[in-house]
Structure 1
Amino acid sequence: MDRTATDPSAPLRDGTVAGILCMVGFAFTAPVMDAFAKATPAEVPVMQILGARFGVQVAVLVPLALALGMGRWPGPRDWLRHLLRGVLLLTATGCFFTALRFMPIANALSIFFVAPFILTILGGLMLKEEVGPRRIAACAVGFLGALLVIQPSFADLGAVALLPLGTALCFAFYMVLTRRMAQRTHPIALQAWTATAASAVVLPALWLLDGSGIAALDPVRPTGLALWTLAGVGVMATVSHLFISFALRLAPAATIAPLQYLEIVAAVALGYWVFGDFPDALTWAGIAVIVGAGLYVFARERRVSLRRRPLPPA
């Protein structure tokens, strides 16, 4: 019997250790993608950054899925689900990249971290998962922490400060749909086909809007710095999503989920090093409240999961 399945104090299996390392890799590479997006020159519209982000992911993950024998063509119903996931992820990323043009990475990311609380509530409403009063209270505390970060940003930026909340909401719905599909589709294939669906939306839109004269939508010919940042967004998106795909495959979600908060560390470091941004005291207070409430939710989830597992045979 695998003692780690019932005893959280037991030594971790090699696969679990590898999953933890992959999750740490995700936490430190995803903010690099955000930094590339933020560093992209302002004349490059956000939609074009999205085209690079998903286009490179398709170019890498679809051949990889095919090479690993995971290239089974999805049926019509699955394609509809991939398209819905793609639109949700496209909208979430678009909101976040737009926010990064005006906000420090750490501020936007800390607001986005209300996503686990939204997911907890949606799990109860849509997936009929058990959500007790303690987790609901933790979610409420997490939202209060987000307000500590949003309030000064909203005073300075207006509605732009709410864009990371849009990212969190779309991402939570995306994860609900992922939970339903991940049971029968390998994570790499799932990411590959979803990126394909997102590209099928954004790339034709870029082609149609070329020459439209709408500054926020009309793509430009990238040169100099823009070439490097667009490539960086696509490459780091692919690398970070491979990390998280393997992390979820190798280790229990309840074990690795708290490690996602390491993104805050990477985001603060990158924001300070590259852009000279450093969170103020109120933002740090909000981050502490969000992380504390999130860790409580993850701990409750782990405790409930352990109670539900069947006892080993005598």
Structure 2
Amino acid sequence: MSKTTAASRDMARGDNPMLGIALMLAFCMVIPFGDALLKLLGQSVPVMTLLIARYVMQVLLLGPVMLWQKRGIAHIVRLPSQIWWRLFWRTVMHIAGISGMYFGLQHLPLADTTAIAFIFPILMLFASHFFLKEFVGPHRITAAIVGFIGTLLVVQPNFVEVGANVLWPIGTACTFVVFILVTRQMSRGIDAVSIQVVSGVMALIMLLIPVLLLNGESFAFFDLGWPSAIEWWMLIGSGVFGTVGHLLMTSAISYAPSATLAPMQYLEIPFATFIGWLVFSDFPNQLAAIGIAVTIASGLYMIYREQRAQNISGQGTD
């Protein structure tokens, strides 16, 4: 397959890959702030309280935007059944992913948890190839592998020390692969804001039913707690960062192929490392600094390759 053919195929699947990359970069900058608040809240706020607050904020923030843009909910009512099923599974994976990060951050530093979860881009590349039939060339695979090596240098995760707790971010990575695949498949049938609003309402229904039935019935996962004043502010902040971050990510997926965006997400590691140092005093050592440079280089290389692919496609030459 020629480079021109590959680029044309990607452009057919993504309207504007460079815009998608820019939105994903913004996601990588925003989401670590939400994760830092998640780690702080995990010390005292039950996971179910956090999840409900998260989705309430999502609906309150984006519901009015959707109603204003679409002038009502008629477009939601008209959605085909396949979109509804994908919205359902996307919501399930989102709840599972946030829960995995919540428990992982209770046992691991912010940068370590983020880095271990970044087995995701490699899984995403192969999933994009086999399930979405997106072209995954050697440059993208190489960028993902180099980015993952840089990730390991940043935090040097010691799997022997963390033991079974390493499964939390790994589980998050697996749920995020399904989350991205489902989002990509329905991104042309429903806009990003509506996805967030409908998913938020679905999540609240899924969470509130077991809470009403099982809260206080010896099922700790479904117990609620009343946050303090400062915890309320952190919950609001977590909801804002999470909502904005995932809106950026959902929009990015609608513009660019998943295989293009996967290596870009390694750029979340340097931001998470910086915030981990700023909030939790986890200062990276010299090897970690090298890893940050490698990770950034991997993401920048993918931007260069995507820009070059667009130029080749536009010129019609190799």
TM-score, normalising length: structure 2 = 0.77
Partner of 2:58: 57
- Aligned-partner Cα distance in 1 for 2:131–2:250: 24
Asked if the contact 1:258–1:298 (Cα under 8 Å) also holds between the matched residues in 2, the reply is no
Matching of residues 215-234 of structure 1 within 5 Å = 215-234=220-239
Q: Which residue of 2 aligns with 1:34?
A: 35
* Letter paired with 2:90: R
Deviation at residue 179 of structure 1 after TM alignment? 1.3
Q: Could you tell me whether the CA contact under 8 Å between 1:258 and 1:295 is conserved in 2?
A: no
Opposite residue 66 of structure 2, the aligned amino acid is A
1:269 is the counterpart of 2:270: no
> Displacement of 1:99 after TM fit?
0.9
CA RMSD of aligned residues (A): 3.6
Give the distance between the partners of 1:255 and 1:194, measured in 2 at CA.
25
With over 3 angstroms needed to count, the CA separation of the structure-2 counterparts of 1:199 and 1:92, relative to structure 1, is same
Task: Give the match for residue 93 of structure 2.
Answer: 88
Pair 1:295–1:201, CA change in 2 (3 A): farther
Query: Match for 2:167 among 162, 178, 187?
Result: 162
2:176 to 171, 174, 199: 171
Query: What pairs with 1:294-305 in structure 2 (closer than 5 Å)?
Result: none
What is the CA-CA distance between 1:30 and the residue it aligns to?
A: 1.2
Cα deviation, residue 62, structure 1: 2.3
Relative to 1, partners in 2 of residues 1:188 and 1:219: Cα closer, same or farther, differing over 3 Å? same
**2:201 counterpart of 1:196:** yes
Structure-1 separation of matches of 2:26 and 2:157:
31
Taking the aligned partners of 2:48 and 2:155, their CA distance within structure 1 comes to 25
Note the 1:1-314 alignment, pairs <5 A: 22-40=23-41, 42-69=43-70, 71=73, 72=75, 73=77, 74-132=79-137, 135-136=140-141, 139=144, 152-246=157-251, 252=256, 260-280=265-285, 311=316
| Aligned partner of residue 211 in structure 1, secondary structure | coil
Asked if 2 retains the 8 angstrom alpha-carbon contact of 1:117 and 1:142, the reply is no
Instruction: Measure, in 2, the Cα distance between the counterparts of 1:302 and 1:18.
Output: 11
Q: Sequence identity of aligned pairs in percent?
A: 36
1:44–1:222 CA contact under 8 A, matched in 2:
yes
Amino acid of the structure 1 residue aligned with 2:187: A
From the two aligned structures, give the one with the greater helix fraction: 2
Closer/same/farther in 2, CA of residues 215 and 224 from structure 1, 3 Å limit: farther
Q: Using the alignment, how far apart are the partners of 2:249 and 2:135 within structure 1?
A: 25
Q: CA deviation at 1:18?
A: 7.8
Residues 41 and 189 of structure 1, relative CA distance in 2, 3 Å threshold:
closer
Q: 2: distance between equivalents of 1:53 and 1:208?
A: 20
Is the CA contact (8 Å cut-off) linking 2:118 and 2:148 kept in structure 1?
no
> Structure 1 240/45 Cα, relative in aligned 2: closer, same or farther at 3 Å?
same
Deviation of 1:165 after TM superposition, in Å, equals: 1.8
Between the aligned partners of 1:185 and 1:159, the Cα distance in structure 2 is 39
Q: Is the 8 A contact 1:26 1:244 kept in 2?
A: yes
Q: Judging changes above 3 Å, is the alpha-carbon distance between structure 1 residues 295 and 206 closer, same or farther for their aligned structure 2 residues? A: farther
Q: For residue 58 of structure 1, give the secondary structure of its aligned residue in structure 2.
A: helix
Shift of 1:20: 6.8
Determine if contact 1:86/1:197 at 8 Å carries over to the other structure: yes
In 2: Cα distance, 1:149 partner to 1:205 partner: 39
> Offset of 1:159 from its aligned partner?
1.5
Q: Which shows bigger deviation, 108-117 or 282-291?
A: 282-291
Q: How big is the shift at 1:125?
A: 1.6
Distance 1:257 1:123, change over 3 A: closer
8 Å contact from structure 2 (residues 150, 292) kept in 1: yes
What stretches of structure 2 of length at least 5 have no aligned partner?
1-6, 8-15
Deviations 1:114-144 (A, max 9, x none): 3222111001221223334565565555556
Q: Measure the CA separation in 1 of the matches of 2:17 and 2:135.
A: 26
**Secondary structure of residue in 2 paired with 1:68:** helix
